[in-house]
């Protein structure tokens, strides 16, 4: 884990990253005092302030992005410097600082939360509690959920699992590997900004434009890595034919999505499971025509469980490959 004197600002030991990953997988997210919640409150307060002084539109959105990212980046650097000072005191303080870093870093990953949320919806569908399943789904997707059938709910969950595999697991790990804790926090800040203001409605089409474009930029490489990991996981789980379908659909349909990134993992997952995702959906009462992604072969009621297996194995494969590449390069 390095020496017992200090911690580096933009570098985290590989074992520390792996332990943060496993801690998230075992414990998951706390119900209170989550740092992402704090970032969300900072975004909301900054937006309210900018709008209160009549700074909105694209300028307001740019300032929102710069202010929020500057604050979270400064706090993350301050946090690492504080841990570094503590770690230099003695071996005991070094291990204490390391444990704190592992715990806090794990909060910026969400593999267990993703699996738990999708499992809850799957269970509710199987118990024929469709109202409760739709209500639970609302936390994962932006579409209208009131009239969704069990099949449509399952497809929405698979879409969410695919997209969030990139946003909540692989992309955070990617930036954690290349830039340490500050890059991890910066990525999650940009991702949270996009989830809160990156809409194309009247309120946010200008104000959220910059945050949405920066999120697209930061997710460009991780989304494509995610698609590759899904195909590789499919090879181990379901065999060569399914893996070929995963890569084929990813290459064919990955760019059909309105997002330049979300369609890549969704298409890879659709090909892996032999289902069709996307298509028309209602958002705030307005029908939005989206292209279908994938080819429906045999739709299984176990599709959420199958997607979960792909998500978990993809996460482990990326962690293992990233650790291997890092050890080779350094």
Mean pLDDT of 4-9: 66
Q: Would you state the pLDDT for residue 174?
A: 98
Assigned domain for 254 exists: yes
pLDDT one-digit tens code per residue, 194-246? 999 998 888 999 999 999 999 999 999 999 999 999 999 999 999 999 999 99
Number of domains in the chain: 1
Q: Which range, 30-39, 278-287, 306-315, has the best average confidence (pLDDT)?
A: 306-315
Spatial separation of the C-alpha atoms in residues 205 and 115, rounded to whole Å = 32
Burial profile 156-182: b = 16 or more Cβ within 10 angstroms, e = fewer: bbbbbbbbbbbbbbbbbbbbbbebbbb
Q: Would you state the pLDDT for residue 257?
A: 84
Assigned domain for 9 exists: no
Assigned domain for 178 exists: yes
Assigned domain for 32 exists: yes
The pLDDT mean for the chain works out to 93
Look at residues 153, 140, 107 and name the one whose alpha carbon lies nearest to residue 277: 153
pLDDT one-digit tens code per residue, 137-156? 988 887 888 888 999 999 99
Domain, as residue range, for 225:
14-329
pTM here is: 0.94
281 strand-pairing partners:
288
Assigned domain for 303 exists: yes
Assigned domain for 7 exists: no
Positive or negative CA dihedral for 48, 50, 54, 55?
negative
Mean pLDDT of 46-63: 96
Assigned domain for 4 exists: no
Tell me the HSE value of 43 on the side-chain side, using a 13 A CA sphere.
24
Assigned domain for 3 exists: no
């Amino acid at each position: 884990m390095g020496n017992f004197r200090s911690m580096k600002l933009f570098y985290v030991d590989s074992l520390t990253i792996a332990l943060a990953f496993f801690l998230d997988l075992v414990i998951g997210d706390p119900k209170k005092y989550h740092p992402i919640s704090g970032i969300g409150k900072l975004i909301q307060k900054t937006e309210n302030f900018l709008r209160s002084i009549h700074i909105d539109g694209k300028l307001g959105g740019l300032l929102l992005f710069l202010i929020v990212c500057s604050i979270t980046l400064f706090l993350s650097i301050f946090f690492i410097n504080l841990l570094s000072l503590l770690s230099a005191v003695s071996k005991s303080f070094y291990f204490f600082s390391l444990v704190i870093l592992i715990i806090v870093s794990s909060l910026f990953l969400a593999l267990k939360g993703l699996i738990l949320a999708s499992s809850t919806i799957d269970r509710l569908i199987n118990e024929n509690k469709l109202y409760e399943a739709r209500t639970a789904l609302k936390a994962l997707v932006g579409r209208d959920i009131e009239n969704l059938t069990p099949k449509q709910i399952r497809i929405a969950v698979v879409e969410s699992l695919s997209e969030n595999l990139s946003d909540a697991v692989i992309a955070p790990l990617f930036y954690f590997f290349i830039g340490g804790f500050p890059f991890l926090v910066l990525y999650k800040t940009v991702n949270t900004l996009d989830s809160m203001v990156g809409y194309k409605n009247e309120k946010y089409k200008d104000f959220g434009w910059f945050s949405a474009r920066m999120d697209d930029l930061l997710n460009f490489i991780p989304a494509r890595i995610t698609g590759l990991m899904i195909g590789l996981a499919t090879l181990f789980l379901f065999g060569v034919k399914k893996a070929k379908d995963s890569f084929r659909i990813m290459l064919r349909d990955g760019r059909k999505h309105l997002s330049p990134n979300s369609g890549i993992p969704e298409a890879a997952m659709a090909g892996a499971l032999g289902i069709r995702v996307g298509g028309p959906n209602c958002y705030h009462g307005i029908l939005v025509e989206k292209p279908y992604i994938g080819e429906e072969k045999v739709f299984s009621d176990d599709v959420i469980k199958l997607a979960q297996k792909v998500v978990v194995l993809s996460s482990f494969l990326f962690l293992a490959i990233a650790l291997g590449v890092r050890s080779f390069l350094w």
